[in-house]
């Protein structure tokens, strides 16, 4: 018999190698997230091929929810990490969620410095009025989302920073060492 030498059948051994390779590739088809999350923007369906490096979905981290409040730069001296905040989501009127200031952004991109092509983009301004820049303040939501009001990334929020608790001690910011807010 051609492709057989002694007790070894070359075609059979090749087929076994192909089966092992297929099993290995099937093992690569599983996706394991490093955290509990929510799959969104799934751009693949049954029978489609996912190629190496191709993004086929996004994963929303649901371990910690936060809002970014854009506060006027003139208010920043009065805002500190560990301060209490109230968060209202426009999609859930009448509901208030507790929050804590995690931090304040160190920089923003100036609209006057943005470029389109090789020419700088200059936004229309009023020569006689200067508007205070808005700086993002990250507020961690302390309350778990209730089942009837799930949080969704990109929802419109209104954040109000109410200051330190009545005892004057900063709140512990989840995910940060206790000493960073004390």
Domain map of the chain by residue range? 4-61, 66-181
In our burial notation (b when 16+ CB lie closer than 10 A, e otherwise), range 23-50 reads eeeeeeeeeeeeeeeeeeeeeeeeeeee
Give the residues across from 87 on adjacent strands: 97, 159
Q: What is the pTM of this model?
A: 0.70
The most confident of the ranges 5-14, 85-94, 123-132, 164-173 is 85-94
**Domain boundaries 66-181, CATH class:** mainly beta
The reported pLDDT for the residue numbered 181 is 45
User: Taking Cα atoms as reference points, which of 26, 122, 16, 11 lies closest to residue 1?
Assistant: 11
pLDDT in tens, 120-154: 555 555 666 677 888 899 999 999 888 888 999 88
pLDDT in tens, 66-123: 999 999 989 999 999 999 999 999 999 999 999 999 999 888 776 666 666 666 555 5
Max Cα-Cα span within the chain: 95
The reported pLDDT for the residue numbered 88 is 95
The reported pLDDT for the residue numbered 110 is 65
Number of neighbouring beta carbons within 10 Å of residue 156: 9
């Amino acid at each position: 018999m051609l492709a057989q030498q002694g007790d070894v059948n070359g075609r059979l051994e090749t087929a076994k190698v192909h089966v092992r390779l297929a099993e290995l590739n099937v093992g690569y088809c599983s996706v394991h997230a490093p955290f509990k999350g929510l799959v969104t923007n799934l751009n693949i369906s049954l029978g489609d091929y996912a190629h190496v490096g191709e993004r086929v979905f996004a994963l929303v981290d649901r371990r910690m929810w936060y809002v970014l409040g854009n506060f006027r730069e003139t208010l920043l001296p009065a805002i500190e990490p560990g301060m209490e905040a109230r968060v209202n989501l426009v999609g859930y009127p009448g509901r208030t969620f507790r929050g804590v200031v995690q931090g304040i952004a160190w920089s923003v991109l100036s609209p006057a410095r943005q470029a389109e092509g090789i020419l700088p983009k200059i936004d229309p301004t009023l020569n006689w009025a200067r508007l205070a820049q808005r700086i993002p303040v990250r507020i961690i939501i302390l309350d778990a989302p209730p089942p009837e009001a799930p949080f969704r990334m990109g929802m419109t929020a209104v954040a109000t920073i109410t200051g330190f608790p009545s005892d004057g001690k900063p709140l512990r910011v989840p995910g940060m060492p206790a000493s960073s807010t004390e």
